[in-house]
Amino acid sequence: MEGYVATIGMFDGVHRGHQFVLQHVVDEARQRGLQSMAITFDKSGPQTLTPLDQKRLLLTKTGIDRIEVLTFNEALKQMTAREFMEQELRDRLNVKVLLTGYDNRFGHNRTEGFDDYVRYGKELGIEVISLPPAPPLQRHTLTFRSEKERGDIVSSSLIRKLIADGDIHQANELLGNPYTILGRVEHGEHIGTKLGYPTANLVLVDKCQLIPSAGVYAVKIRLENSVEWKHGMMNIGMRPTFDGQHQTLEVNVFRLKENLYGQQLQVAFIERLRGEQRFDSIEALKSQLREDAIEAERILA
């Protein structure tokens, strides 16, 4: 039998909740002798966790056989759920089984839901199956400021909030991977070099990707055309000690003297060391940077 077991979603972050869903798709496909498919969209917006190329890579790692990226154009936006199931899922993608959460919605009329999809599926020859709820992942290791956050434990929105608050540790727990940005090295003001900690000044490749809260972080860095993850620390902020006027992303790669200008770097955030601070003197800043580097090395070891 040819065809696919599929699921649909934005999959921003490809977090543990998404991984749970995708594993069910893979398992269901194997049991039925079909291929597995994740259907997603090229749509992105402010505070995106995973730009499209990064999302593709993370989806591939789940074991899904095929990743289908739909262009979020006007024609697609105007499709009803039944039209989408008929034209895209059945006719173009050969989907035989659709796995979906009970409260998942797609199509122009968002008042339609699971029961409607089941009915349309019967008419179109697509079996629609409701996914079980994801287990409360890592609940025993995480702390929450409210019961609302506890109930929303595996969502992209909660992960965005944690990252925006600088709570990288908990965000990474929910993601199942370190939060990672991709940036190109451009010329800066060389302040880090003068302080004894030369930094690469990064500009995000995808301007929509979410930047963590201002502060200093222990990070791992992968250089362009390299598979090795190097250790380092990253400063995000306005450089208040130097009366900075705009936000900068500066990464110091430990024990590296290579010229990185023009390179594209991946930076994986492991732990936040401290918030942004203004220092009364350059010597005080240097002293703190030495402490930051020691703490980052300890965390990354």
List for the chain the helix, strand, coil content (%; round to 5): 35, 25, 40
pLDDT per position as a tens digit, 66-122: 999 999 888 898 999 999 999 999 999 999 999 997 567 787 766 788 899 999 999
Compute the average pLDDT of residues 2-9: 95
Query: To which residue do tokens 């040819």 refer?
Result: 2
d(C-alpha 176, C-alpha 156), whole Å = 12
d(C-alpha 55, C-alpha 15), whole Å = 10
Q: Which residues pair with 127 in a beta bridge?
A: 97
**228 CB burial (10 A radius; 0-12, 13-18, 19+):** exposed
Query: To which residue do tokens 């929910």 refer?
Result: 174
Whether pTM exceeds 0.85? yes
State the CB neighbour count (10 A cutoff) for residue 207.
10
Q: Which residues pair with 248 in a beta bridge?
A: 237
pLDDT per position as a tens digit, 168-218: 999 999 999 999 999 999 987 666 666 767 889 999 999 999 999 999 999
State the CB neighbour count (10 A cutoff) for residue 69.
15
132 within 8 A of 19, measured Cβ to Cβ = no
pLDDT per position as a tens digit, 185-194: 998 766 666 6
Q: Are strands 179-186 and 264-274 parallel, antiparallel or unpaired?
A: antiparallel
d(C-alpha 123, C-alpha 106), whole Å = 18
